[in-house]
Homo-oligomer: A and B are copies of this chain.
Amino acid sequence: MTAIDPGPRGAIDMTHGAGGRAMAGLIRDVFHRHLGNAYLAQGDDGALLGRVEGRLVMATDAHVVSPLFFPGGDIGALAVHGTINDIAMMGARPLWLSASFILEEGLALATLDRIVASMARAAREAGVPVVTGDTKVVEKGKGDGVFIATTGVGDLADGVAISGAGARPGNVILVSGTMGDHGVAILSRREGLAFETEIVSDSQPLHDLVAAMLASVSGIRVLRDPTRGGLAATLNEIAHQSQAGMVLDEPAVPVQPEVAAACELLGLDPLNIANEGKLVAICEAADAEALLAAMRAHPRGRDAAIIGEVVADERTLVRMRTRLGGMRVVDWIDGEQLPRIC
């Protein structure tokens, strides 16, 4: 620490949200220092972004994950990945992000600095800049450290038509990798559980994988990232939107042995557990093998697998052939299994 750049120290107080000098200092010393780019440098209450080719898409997510730091990630990186992935799941290319921070009085500035630095790194690695932001401060006991709402905009190329309503009987269901890593990583940190191998979150951006998938075949009908509620909730949502049923093959669903063991221990089903760097794809049967190969050829889809198929079923049930040869319904959970997972 030098006199020129003392760096962040101390803690957030109510003046940091008051629109005066303290807020201007925070924006300069933390947000602009890490996230700095030509858009933020415009210094206005919004950002001028330029022209967009194709059709515009927009997605938003609030992030309230607890704890703020967890194996494989933190709320800053997660807030970037989560919204990039929502844009990518429409088949679109994420272009720009906004970020709104709600800070709790008393939050250590060093903690905020670390979160914003991680956010900046995630945005840089993904090639999607944070172009505009906002900061509010709430009194101690009226928040929980930091909440971050991110919104993304992107463009969708002509001819791409991806939607949760697009699944048709005969289509094939794929996932891009192992299920449950993020939720179990959060839970193990929260509960202080130690496993032989540390389970780390899969938090990662999926837009490059999606671009590779869209370039490989034309028959992709649905893309979605199985976050809250896990694969079970996501497939039930799609089944409902598409008015079709699904049949999964249990042994085909990739789950890391450590995650399976932790779930067994905790009485959880990996299919209900949130992921933050995996996707579900549903495609025409003729394209399934080529799509699987394209996914496996990409570093973010190495463990991709075909896990089942879409069937005609007016009850829109998601069912699974179990390892023992039975058939069970994969329902979405009613209650709260894992609060504040993202």
Contact = CB atoms under 8 A, between A and B. Distances in A.
A307 interface: no
Q: Which of A57, A58, A274, A339 has the most CB of B within 10 A?
A: A58
B50 A333 contact: no
A68 to B, nearest CB: 12
B17 A339 contact: yes
Contact of A131 (B58, B89, B332, B337): B58
B89 A43 contact: no
B339 A19 contact: no
A287 interface: no
A323 interface: no
A144 to B, nearest CB: 4
B18 A333 contact: yes
Contacts of A102: 62, 64, 102, 147, 149
Contact of A224 (B45, B133, B233): B45
Contacts of A21: 332-334
A138 interface: yes
Interface in A5-42: 13-15, 17-24, 42
Report how many copies the assembly holds. Answer: 2
Interface residues of A, number: 86
Nearest to A342: B136
Nearest to A232: B20
Interface in A129-159: 131-139, 141-144, 147, 149, 151-153, 156
A47 interface: yes
Given A48-B56, A151-B151, 10 more contacts: A17-B340, A19-B227, A20-B332, A21-B332, A45-B224, A45-B225, A46-B58, A60-B134, A62-B136, A143-B144
Interface of A: 13-15, 17-24, 42-52, 54-64, 86-87, 89-90, 92, 96, 98-102, 131-139, 141-144, 147, 149, 151-153, 156, 163-165, 224-225, 227-230, 233, 237, 241, 274, 332-340, 342
